[in-house]
């Protein structure tokens, strides 16, 4: 039988600007070097979509330290462009939203605002199909290896670092990532070596310098860390220093990981062409949603790279499950109060939810933390 064109149309959207407070101000190497202040909250942009036929989708993007009001303002401007459109035409709608705000560019804040709409449309499509998002996209696995970052920040004393690491492993998380990049590299080595001795050789251990080393320092520190059998050294250099990252990747046995700060598929393509990473770390909300993320993943696969999506585990557990080679997902429990559901962890792995779509619904707490909200169109 010939296919039947969809007659469903987007009728209503609700945009919410929500601010998640962090219990403890968060510090990494960017704080110690004076480039940034400790992080005290995360700005979330939520997009809820409802169609004429009653199908619903939920998407989100986020910003740290700055940019939340700008994302929300841009989203308000471009949201009317979706009214009356077929929600299945996701790639077409991504381009339409991009051109609606083309004068402010195709990366950064503008595409991060688009990301919330894009994720919502994919969530809607998967819910309508009664499939988890990973299954809709085509999953290779039902669980993904996961590692914890939130217990390893630089503001955490060494003794507490060891406690946090043990607690994560006992919870079922498969690896531990530690922040490095202090002015005194000897302190970094002391902390990482202490955790390695504490956990033993069989636990996956990663470090993250958050772009704070220059090239000579990165060379010395990568050489220093070689004996510790790290899964990767993350962002040893500025995120856009592809040549420098490529030199490190070619020189050392320990893999180099980077990519989380890039904000478009085009920027990731440049990184891949330079062979600047062994582990690529795309962030779907930062690059503009699932549509550009899938383009990045396809390039990474063709280049033979490993992948470890950054942050937003509630979304990335689905996307990582669709990558051919075994990926890692970053476990952050920070966003958990925003949703009614929880991800399951067992045996070092994060289980892909079997609920339709993302498998998420906004909590009452998310509504409490919402500072601004706007509705576009008329709810059917």
E strands of 70-203, at which residues? Answer: 143-148, 175-179
Whether residue 179 lies in the annotated active site: yes
User: Quick one: which of 255, 251, 263 has its CA closest to 235?
Assistant: 255
Number of other residues whose CB lies within 10 A of the CB of residue 267: 20
How deeply is 61 buried, as exposed, middle or buried, from its count of CB atoms within 10 A (0-12, 13-18, 19+)? buried
Tokens of 86: 């077929």
Whether residue 316 lies in the annotated active site: no
The catalytically annotated residue of 125, 179, 242, 318 is 179
Angstrom distances, CA of residue 100 to CA of 34, 76, 182, 238, 351: 37, 11, 43, 31, 37
Rounded to 5°, the CA angle 119-13-310 comes to 20
What DSSP character marks residue 33? Answer: T
> Under DSSP, is residue 1 helix (H, G, I), strand (E, B) or coil?
coil
Q: Hey, which residues does 351 pair with through a beta bridge?
A: 143
Question: Residue written as tokens 């030199």?
Answer: 247
The catalytically annotated residue of 242, 310, 318, 331 is 310
- Give the C-alpha separation, 188 to 228, whole Å: 12
- Give the C-alpha separation, 109 to 105, whole Å: 9
Are the beta carbons of 29 and 154 closer than 8 angstroms?
A: yes
Are the beta carbons of 150 and 336 closer than 8 angstroms?
A: no
End-to-end CA distance of the chain: 31
Q: Hey, which residues does 346 pair with through a beta bridge?
A: 349
Give catalytic residues, as residue numbers: 179, 310
């Amino acid at each position: 039988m010939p296919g039947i064109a969809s007659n469903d149309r987007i009728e209503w959207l609700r945009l919410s600007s929500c601010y998640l407070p962090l219990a403890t101000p968060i510090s990494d190497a960017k704080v110690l070097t004076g480039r940034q202040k400790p992080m005290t909250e995360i700005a979330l942009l939520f997009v809820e979509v409802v169609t004429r036929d009653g199908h619903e989708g939920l998407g989100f993007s986020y910003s740290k330290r700055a940019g939340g009001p700008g994302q929300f303002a841009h989203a308000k401007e471009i949201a009317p462009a979706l009214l009356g459109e077929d929600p299945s035409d996701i790639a077409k709608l991504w381009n339409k939203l991009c051109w609606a705000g083309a004068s402010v560019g195709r990366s950064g804040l503008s595409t991060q605002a688009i990301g919330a709409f894009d994720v919502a449309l994919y969530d809607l499509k998967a819910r309508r199909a009664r499939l988890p998002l990973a299954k809709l996209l085509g999953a290779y696995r039902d669980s993904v290896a996961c590692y914890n970052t939130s217990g390893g920040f630089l503001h955490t004393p060494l003794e507490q670092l060891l406690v946090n690491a043990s607690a994560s492993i006992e919870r079922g998380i498969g690896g531990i990532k530690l922040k490095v990049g202090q002015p005194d590299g000897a302190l970094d080595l002391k902390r990482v070596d202490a955790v390695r001795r504490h956990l033993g050789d069989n636990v996956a251990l990663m470090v993250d310098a958050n772009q704070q080393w220059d090239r000579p320092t990165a060379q010395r520190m990568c050489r220093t860390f070689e004996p510790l059998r790290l899964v990767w050294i993350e962002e040893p250099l500025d995120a856009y220093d592809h040549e420098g990252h490529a030199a490190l990747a070619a020189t050392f046995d320990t893999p180099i990981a980077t990519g989380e700060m890039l904000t478009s598929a085009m920027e990731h393509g440049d990184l891949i062409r330079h062979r600047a990473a062994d582990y690529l770390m795309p962030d779907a909300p930062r690059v503009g949603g699932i549509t550009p993320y899938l383009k990045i993943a396809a390039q990474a696969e063709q280049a033979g790279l490993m992948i470890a999506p950054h942050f937003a585990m509630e979304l990335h557990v689905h996307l990582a499950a669709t990558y051919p080679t075994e990926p890692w997902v970053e476990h952050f429990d920070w966003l958990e109060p925003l949703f009614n559901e929880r991800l399951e962890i067992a045996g070092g792995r994060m289980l892909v939810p079997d609920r339709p779509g993302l498998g998420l619904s906004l909590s009452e707490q998310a509504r409490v933390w919402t500072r601004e909200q706007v509705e576009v169109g008329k709810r059917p």
